[in-house]
Chains A and B, each alone.
Chain A
Amino acid sequence: MAGQTLYDKLWSQHLVKERDDGSALIYIDRQLLHEVTSPQAFEGLRLAGRKPWRLDANLATPDHNVPTTVKERAAGNAGIVDPVSLIQVQTLDDNCESFGIEEFRINDARQGIVHVVSPEQGATLPGMTVVCGDSHTATHGAFAALAHGIGTSEVEHVLATQCLIAQKMKNMRVRVEGKLGLGVTAKDIVLAIIGRIGTAGGTGYAIEFAGSAIRDLSMEGRMTICNMAIEAGARVGLVGVDDTTIDYLRERPYAPSAEQWDAAVNAWRNLVSDDDAVFDKEVVLDAAEIAPQVTWGTSPEMVASVEDLVPDPASLNDDTAKRGVARALEYMGLSPNQKITDIRLDKVFIGSCTNSRIEDLREAAKVAKGKKVADSIKLAMVVPGSGLVKRQAEAEGLDKVFIEAGFEWREPGCSMCLAMNADKLGAGEHCASTSNRNFEGRQGYGGRTHLVSPAMAAAAAIAGHFVDVRQFTQQPQEA
């Protein structure tokens, strides 16, 4: 019999019951809650007179609606100007309070983007099932946890039963082998993967990311990659456990206690695909061939290398694709065959659950150090993923590097990734963004998003247009 994939192992370890119709009940170890997709779930519990099955499995924090300026945040919830946003955040506070769920509130140092907060606390552990009413829950798969986004009805279902009705996915492995070039990062890897397999390429699959280039990544880099599995259509992204995983988790607040640590590590070591495991689909990329990536369209699959040109719809055969590209170029205000490096920018956003961790900020700061944001840029902002990331960055002096270069240094939250708060693009504005979605209107009505790595975003802020960060970083640095 063939060996098991990592996904197969995680699935079978959580299987409560299999039904004849192909559906199954799987047990959920961790549910993360935020203010946007939970109110209707709590309301459902109340209406049915139900209680959460297991309080300690839940952890909550407000992130989508919170303002990110120092001034607004100083006032706590009262600083949320939009009354509708305020109600949503207060509703999360009230629900957590009345049901007894642990919450890191708006001005708790541990507050932040839910997908940054949980790993940072050690609340995401290898071998767990993790769910959240947010598609970027795939992030947590970097820890060999079976993690995926769910809808609000499912949030209520997990609160009430600690289980999810699920169907087994198929297995895909994406291997990235070799060494990345200087200035090329995890974000470029995942954008290149999406460019290769398409935005629906992973639909129905759990994708395991493997290969030497993935092994070489830090946990932050692996989280960036798993985070965007959903942008390739896969609800689940996974990376097997190794020393990097275990070293990251040591002594985190929610990690196993000293007495349990060795037993936990022992169990975690098995959370890798067996050598003889069979995948339904396999894709291989050569890390050395990946250049810094920039999206030019309105779907993450509409991506190119920085040295490339914007595509010409006339060169495509498929009618639906041709119309899709033409529509995207019109929305984005770009011309066929335009150089990517000729795209001029209005705003730069460094943040989001994809790229707001300490390593991301270090990479951006390295590029920004001693330089100035171009005069043509209306706003360049850096939004740390959590209060603790912010604190760490300040301890390293990164805040000063950004501020001196002309970036705004903000308080933690989802910020301009989806503009449910005050941070947004105006109509027609082009933004170099380290977030995960370039959908129409995502960052603001009529806004034009280009997805890039933190280093590429920082370089674009300084140049005022896209530049190849590989050449940028080779330029002599000012003292």
Chain B
Amino acid sequence: MQKFTQHRGLVAPLDRANVDTDLIIPKQFLKSIKRTGFGPNLFDELRYLDEGYPGQDASKRPLNPDFVLNQSRYQGASVLLARRNFGCGSSREHAPWALEDFGFRAVIAPSFADIFYNNAFKNGILLITLDEATVDRLFQETEANEGYRLAIDLEAQTVTTPSGEIIRFEIDGFRKHCLLNGLDDIGLTLQEEGAIREFEQRHRQAQPWLFR
């Protein structure tokens, strides 16, 4: 997993609540057996005017000029500003894979859906939860100022605006540690092999019908 320590990036505002994972990456692209290559189909139904299908050359498709990521001022954005309950719906990890492949390193929103929250952190994407009023203000500032960038420091748990305002965010210790160090979860868990085996043995004795 790629590390996340500090990042300064252009902000793109996606002004819509309850953005679901079907909207982030539609079902037809879930047929891939790979983890990469989903970026061109991120927000496919919002981004293009036609229906997309796997294996297509996305550069030849008609773009929706009204969609925020197609506007020239947001080209190269790496921080997505979003509304409440971002990532609701399915468990598809293709959603964070698509965000990451597109170039997003962080998403800021008032709230995230639980499964998406887990999945994003497994892929080196930092999700920052800020209160509605702060997110509202960031929307206004982003839209008012072309080239609006935010500086994110995970160690310090801060977001710094161009005017120098410092906004603090909360994150749990385990996720922060893994993200700062780019740690492989499975390797970490396997360090507990003894504890797992011991638990398993007790569990089998108590409920043998759970084992065949």
Contacts and interface: CB of A to CB of B under 8 A. Distances in A.
Interface of A: 14, 16-17, 19-23, 25, 27, 29, 36-37, 39-40, 43, 48, 50, 53-54, 56, 64-65, 82, 84-85, 87-88, 91, 125, 127-128, 133-135, 137, 148-154, 156-157, 160-163, 165, 167, 199-200, 203-204, 230, 233-235, 254-257, 260, 263-264, 267, 299, 320-321, 323-324, 327, 418-420, 427, 437, 439-442, 445-446
Nearest to A30: B210
B85 to A, nearest CB: 4
A37 B91 contact: yes
A420 B31 contact: yes
Interface string B64-85: 0000000000000000000111
Contact of B26 (A16, A20, A156, A441): A441
Contacts of B210: 29, 125, 127-128
Given A84-B54, A233-B88, A420 B28 contact: yes
A151 B114 CA distance: 11
B31 A85 contact: yes
Contacts of B23: 439-441
Contacts of B208: 260
Nearest to A264: B209
Contact of A37 (B22, B85, B92): B92
Contacts of A299: 18, 20, 88
A324 B16 contact: yes
The 6 nearest A-B residue pairs measured at CB: A21-B173, A256-B209, A151-B119, A149-B91, A151-B93, A39-B33
B195 A264 contact: no
Given A235-B114, A439-B23, A441-B45, A151 B174 contact: no
Contacts of B61: none
Contact of A152 (B26, B93, B174, B189): B93
Interface in B167-196: 172-175, 177, 185-186, 189-190, 192, 195-196
9 contacts: A23-B172, A23-B173, A25-B195, A27-B196, A233-B88, A235-B115, A263-B209, A441-B45, A445-B26
B18 A199 contact: yes
Interface of B: 15-18, 20, 22-23, 26-28, 30-35, 45, 51, 54-55, 83-85, 88-93, 96, 111, 113-115, 118-119, 122-123, 172-175, 177, 185-186, 189-190, 192, 195-196, 199-200, 203, 206-212
Contacts of A323: 15-16
A233 B113 contact: yes
A25 B88 CA distance: 25
Nearest to A91: B33
Contacts of B33: 39-40, 43, 87-88, 91
A51 to B, nearest CB: 12
Contacts of A153: 93, 119, 122-123, 185
B196 A203 contact: no
A38 to B, nearest CB: 9
Contacts of A324: 16-18
B173 A441 contact: no
B174 A22 contact: yes
A85 B55 CA distance: 13
Contacts of B32: 84
Given A151-B119, A203-B85, A420-B31, 17 more contacts: A17-B192, A22-B174, A37-B91, A56-B212, A84-B55, A85-B31, A88-B31, A149-B90, A152-B119, A153-B122, A163-B196, A199-B18, A230-B89, A437-B20, A439-B22, A441-B26, A445-B45
A154 B118 contact: yes
Given A128-B210, A135-B91, A320-B17, A418 B27 contact: yes
A53 B211 CA distance: 13
A165 B114 CA distance: 14
A106 to B, nearest CB: 16
Nearest to B190: A161
B17 A257 contact: no
Contacts of A439: 20, 22-23, 89
Contacts of A199: 18, 85, 88
A27 B210 CA distance: 12
B90 A135 contact: yes
Contacts of B115: 135, 148-151, 230, 235
A441 B118 contact: no
Nearest to A65: B31
A416 B33 CA distance: 21
Contacts of A150: 91, 115, 118
Nearest to A320: B17
Contact of A56 (B30, B172, B211): B211
A200 B93 contact: no
B116 to A, nearest CB: 8
A87 B172 CA distance: 39
A445 B41 CA distance: 14
Nearest to A122: B209
B85 A165 contact: no
Contacts of B16: 323-324, 327
A91 B28 CA distance: 17
A440 B22 contact: yes
